[in-house]
Amino acid sequence: MYRFAPVTELHDQCLRAMTDDGGFRVMTVRTTQTVRDVLQTQNVKGETARWLADLVTGTLLVRETMSPANRVQGLLHGIARSGVLVADCHPDGGSRGLVQRRGDGDPLVGGGAVLEMMRTLHRGVHKGMVKVPDGATLSTAFMAYMQESEQVATVMAMTTLFDGDRVRASGGYLVQLLPELSEPMLAIMTERLKEFAPIEALLRDESTTPHSLMAELLYGMPFTQLADSPLQFQCRCDQVRIMASLATLPRDEVQAMVDDAKPLEITCDYCRRDYVIEPEQLRGLLAPS
Ligand SMILES: [Zn+2]
């Protein structure tokens, strides 16, 4: 299931930099291959694909800036309990996605949907929620989340370009204003972001890379690149985790499956990998520990 990109293709990456005056933190990401793999494993198209793609890129940006050492999940709750889109991003740069449907169709997303961010910290899980305004993009909802929940003034932009159903390019950037910011630099950045080309136009240009985006965002400002980390699609499932989840089932349910005497087939919702659990393995769950 897991595929490496052909060598001719640029790999996904996240660049992180800070201006030398300590005023701005900037991240730029290419997520083309990660998004392709997420959309392919979830078999989604059209508007759902577009929102899930941006959810993955936005969640990656939040993880890289607020919680580089932790797992961050972005959930987009559909309108009228129609389902949830999930992005699950981990510190090793691996991400996966999920479409949870509550009815026949895809979750209804757009204005009125709710963006929920879950950051796994040492002390537990930090959660924050914002409503997607009518007619707004997911970038707008992410910026509102950063302002309201994290209290950091942030400009974010992400998008995915499609050729039909195929992802042509996916990526984005994030600019954060830090407390050390001087007034003149704030004025310069505000003007620059106002005049900055829309992210769609930037990604349409095939010469755009995370490096060129970074250089353009911070043009004329001395900055230091702090990190360049690879990103990829990656599921976290394996036989041990599947057995561990089965071990949490009530004993009589496991007994019923053992009595059934047939191999149990389980498919991972994130990556569609199939697992076959033999009755003998299930019997092991019933053994007194
Ligand atoms: Zn999996």
Angle at alpha carbon of residue 195, lines to 178 and 55, rounded to 5°: 65
Q: Which of 230, 168, 231 is nearest to 203 (CA)?
A: 168
**Model pLDDT, residue 288:** 67
**Model pLDDT, residue 2:** 45
Average pLDDT over residues 184-194: 84
Task: State in Å: Cα 104 to ligand 1 middle.
Answer: 23
**Model pLDDT, residue 179:** 79
pLDDT of residue 275 exceeding 60:
yes
Q: How confident is the model at residue 4 (pLDDT cuts 50, 70, 90)?
A: very low
pLDDT in tens, 32-80: 999 999 999 999 999 999 999 999 999 999 999 988 899 999 999 999 9
Task: State in Å: Cα 239 to ligand 1 middle.
Answer: 10
**Model pLDDT, residue 181:** 76
Task: State in Å: Cα 268 to ligand 1 middle.
Answer: 5
**Model pLDDT, residue 121:** 86
d(CA 15, CA 217): 12
pLDDT in tens, 125-135: 999 999 999 99
**Model pLDDT, residue 238:** 94
**Model pLDDT, residue 178:** 87
Average pLDDT over residues 2-25: 77
User: Span 13-233: which CATH code?
Assistant: 3.55.30.10
Task: State in Å: Cα 4 to ligand 1 middle.
Answer: 16
Mean pLDDT of the chain: 91
Task: State in Å: Cα 153 to ligand 1 middle.
Answer: 36
State the number of CA atoms in the 13 A half-sphere of 36 facing the CB: 23
State what percent of residues in the chain have pLDDT above 90: 74
This prediction has a pTM of 0.91
Task: State in Å: Cα 30 to ligand 1 middle.
Answer: 23
d(CA 85, CA 108): 10
pLDDT in tens, 161-182: 999 999 999 999 999 988 777 7
pLDDT in tens, 108-119: 999 999 999 999
Task: State in Å: Cα 2 to ligand 1 middle.
Answer: 10
**Model pLDDT, residue 8:** 45
Instruction: Give 239-286's CATH code, choosing from 3.60.21.10, 1.20.210.10, 3.30.70.1560, 3.90.1280.10.
Output: 3.90.1280.10
**Model pLDDT, residue 7:** 44
Task: State in Å: Cα 140 to ligand 1 middle.
Answer: 31
Task: State in Å: Cα 237 to ligand 1 middle.
Answer: 4
Domain extents for the chain? Answer: 13-233, 239-286
pLDDT of residue 3 exceeding 70:
no
Task: State in Å: Cα 152 to ligand 1 middle.
Answer: 34
In contact, 287 and 251? CB cutoff 8 Å: no
- H or E element, residue 9: none
Residues 6+ apart with CB under 8 A from 221: 19, 20, 21, 24, 185, 188
**Model pLDDT, residue 9:** 59
CA end-to-end distance (rounded Å), the chain: 35
pLDDT in tens, 220-269: 899 999 999 999 999 999 999 999 988 899 999 989 988 988 999 999 99
